[in-house]
């Protein structure tokens, strides 16, 4: 495969973000990777705005008393208020999903949003509280390209993570090990680099860490075990902050994070020699995320043929990439949530604390067939008939059998409903890019733009399924057909 400058730049845009926009097309052939990456960094340098979709009703119930100095606890709410809170919060989380999706599509800060998606899976958390979700997303987006230590500390003190990993129940003489275990196993060092004793001692250190209903971190001193502890060979009267510092001192943390970033941004087939070198520099930089990414994206090996078109797009990457390539208006934006569920990556709903496994796990026989249909569904405003897979944690938070039965009925009704993606594609900019391309070279030119690897389908076969009545229809249908190939699933 000939690795053109255009292909290298498309590779960079897919890995540092979600693929090229129409307005980027003319720059792909002539811009250097160094210049493009500098532009990408510059566009992601500003701090993001807080995404707030919580309804006024919930804000009045939970947040308004806070402004007057009051602290509302869950026990202060009536059963009816709790039920109303859960129902409205669930709807707001869907709105948060769409709002963040639109940021990924439209924001110039592509690297920040792509890195935020990585951390969203790394620091996987599920909660029915919209305020907790918004606060954690804000922490991740603000620290996505900053210092990993700062990010780790902020996430560890977030209400979403504290509640998800049960640290509100971690008390002196009754330690809950869940939070301490996951901080070691999933957030820093990885399994096999600590002992059960380390987990038990770290859990003691995290006693007293909690959060209130408004999402503020709370240290409950009377619930903290202030005795001496030994963690990873260090002995002292440690608290939670001390534990996080000890974990950051471990070289294994740099290796674990670097390997995971390499797998996400470069290739699922990890080159351990490169990971070791990258991790050394990451550790020496005191965990500066931007420095690690710059070393990856500016290296010559990143543009090796084996790394281009080698990764399966996650469902979110697929959806966002399509919408960046073909600007469109979707009337019923929540139909994208159904698509996420069908493909196995619903934002703010990771399958478990380990997040989405990624790689070949994105594809099975049913999801691949649906993936290949998505461009045609969008182009033709077709109906989505498939039913989402059953969510193992769908009944999470249900308090009694009657509530569970009602929830199942709601889900069944939602699954039975047909959904149409009512879209209007704005083809103008896309079509304009091909205005000077000779007719016999159109397919080749479209292939080079749409795909990151050579298609298996031949031009003669492709022509059988395109509309050749006029140039415009030919470009449109050729594009949709190429986006419906297995090769389009790769980036």
DSSP string, 363-390: --HHHHHHHHHHHHHHHHT-EE-PPPPP
Range 382-408 burial, b when 16+ CB lie within 10 A, else e = eebebebeeeeeeeeeeeeeeeeeeee
Can you give the residue ranges of every domain in the chain? 5-43+251-307, 315-425, 428-489
Start-to-end Cα distance in the chain: 15
- SS3 letters across the chain: CCCCHHHHHHHHHHHHCCCCCHHHHHHCCCCCHHHHHHHHHHHCCCCCCCCCCCCHHHHHHHHHHHHCCCCCCHHHCCHHHHHHHHHHHHHHHHHHHHHHHHHHHHCCCHHHHHHHHHHHHHCCCCCCCHHHHHHHHHHHHHHCCCEHHHHHHHHHCCHHHHHHCCHHHCECCECCCHHHHHHHHHHHCCCCCCCHHHHHHHHHHCCCEEECCCCCEEECHHHCCCCCEEECCEEECCCHHHHHHHHHHCHHHHHHHHHHHHHHHCCCCCCHHHHHHHHHHHHHCCCEHHHHHHHHHCCCHHHCHHHCCCCECCHHHHHHHHHHHCCEEECCCCHHHHHHHHHCCCCCCCCCCCCCCCHHHHCCHHHHHHHHHHHHHHHHCCEECCCCCCCCCCCCCCCCHHHHHHHHHHHHHHHHCCEECCEEECCHHHHHHCCCCCHHHHHHHHHHHHCCCCCCCCHHHHHCCCCCCCHHHHHHHHHHHHHCCHHHHEC
Contact 167, 203 (CB under 8 A): no
All residues at 6 or more sequence positions from 332 whose CB lies less than 8 Å from its CB, including other chains:
419, 420, 421, 422
**pTM, 2 dp:** 0.92
* Integer CA distances (angstroms), 55 to 91, 104, 131, 158, in order: 9, 23, 10, 21
User: Per-block average pLDDT, block size 10, for the chain (491 residues)?
Assistant: 92 98 92 98 98 90 59 70 89 98 98 98 96 98 98 98 97 97 98 98 98 93 98 98 98 98 98 98 98 98 98 98 96 94 96 96 92 94 63 44 49 51 94 96 97 95 95 98 98 98
**pLDDT (0 to 100) of residue 170:** 97
Query: CA 307 to CA 305: how far, in whole Å?
Result: 5
Report the largest interatomic distance among the alpha carbons of the chain, rounded to a whole angstrom.
80
**pLDDT (0 to 100) of residue 148:** 99
Contact 183, 244 (CB under 8 A): yes
Q: CB atoms < 10 A from the CB of 19, how many?
A: 22
């Amino acid at each position: 495969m000939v690795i053109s400058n255009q292909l290298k730049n498309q590779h960079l845009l897919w890995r540092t973000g979600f693929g090229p926009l129409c307005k980027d097309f003319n720059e792909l052939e002539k811009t250097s990777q160094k210049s493009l990456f500098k532009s990408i960094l510059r566009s992601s340098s500003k701090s993001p705005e807080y995404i707030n979709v919580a309804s006024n009703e919930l804000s009045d119930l939970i947040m308004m008393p806070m402004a007057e100095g009051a602290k509302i606890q869950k026990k202060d709410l009536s059963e009816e208020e709790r039920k109303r809170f859960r129902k409205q919060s669930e709807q707001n989380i869907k709105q948060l999903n769409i709002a963040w999706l639109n940021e990924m599509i439209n924001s110039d800060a592509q690297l920040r949003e792509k890195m935020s998606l990585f951390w969203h899976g790394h620091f996987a958390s599920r909660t029915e509280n919209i305020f907790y979700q918004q606060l954690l997303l804000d922490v991740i987006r603000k620290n996505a390209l900053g210092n990993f230590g700062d990010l780790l500390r902020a996430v560890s003190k977030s209400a979403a993570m504290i509640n998800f990993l049960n640290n509100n129940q971690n008390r002196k003489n009754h330690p809950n090990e869940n939070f301490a275990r996951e901080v070691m196993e999933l957030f820093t060092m990885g399994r096999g680099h600590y002992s059960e004793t380390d987990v038990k001692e770290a859990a003691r250190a995290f006693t007293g860490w909690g959060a209130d209903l408004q999402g503020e971190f709370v240290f409950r001193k009377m619930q903290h075990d202030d005795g001496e502890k030994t963690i990873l060979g260090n002995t002292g009267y440690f608290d939670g902050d001390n534990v996080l510092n000890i974990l950051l001192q471990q070289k294994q943390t740099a290796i674990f994070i670097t390997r995971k970033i390499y797998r996400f941004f470069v290739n699922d087939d990890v080159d351990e020699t490169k990971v070791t070198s990258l991790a050394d520099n990451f550790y020496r930089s005191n965990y500066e995320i931007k420095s690690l990414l710059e070393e990856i994206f500016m290296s010559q090996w990143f543009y090796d043929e084996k790394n281009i078109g080698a990764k399966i797009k996650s469902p979110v990457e697929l959806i966002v990439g399509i919408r960046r390539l073909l600007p469109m208006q979707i009337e019923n934006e929540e139909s994208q949530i159904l698509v996420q569920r069908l493909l196995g990556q619903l934002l703010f709903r990771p399958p478990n604390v380990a997040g989405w496994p990624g790689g070949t796990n994105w594809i099975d026989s049913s999801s691949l067939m649906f993936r290949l249909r998505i461009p045609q569904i969008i182009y033709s405003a077709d109906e989505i008939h498939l039913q989402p897979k059953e969510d193992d944690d769908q009944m999470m938070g249900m308090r009694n059998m009657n509530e569970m039965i009602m929830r199942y009925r709601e889900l069944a009704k939602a699954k039975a409903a047909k959904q149409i993606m009512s879209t209007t594609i704005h083809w103008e900019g896309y079509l304009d890019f091909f205005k000077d391309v000779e007719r016999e070279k159109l397919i080749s030119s479209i292939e080079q733009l749409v795909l990151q690897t050579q298609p298996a389908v031949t031009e003669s076969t492709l022509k059988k399924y395109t509309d050749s009545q006029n140039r415009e229809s030919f470009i449109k249908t050729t594009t949709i057909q190429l986006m419906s190939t297995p090769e389009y699933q790769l980036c």
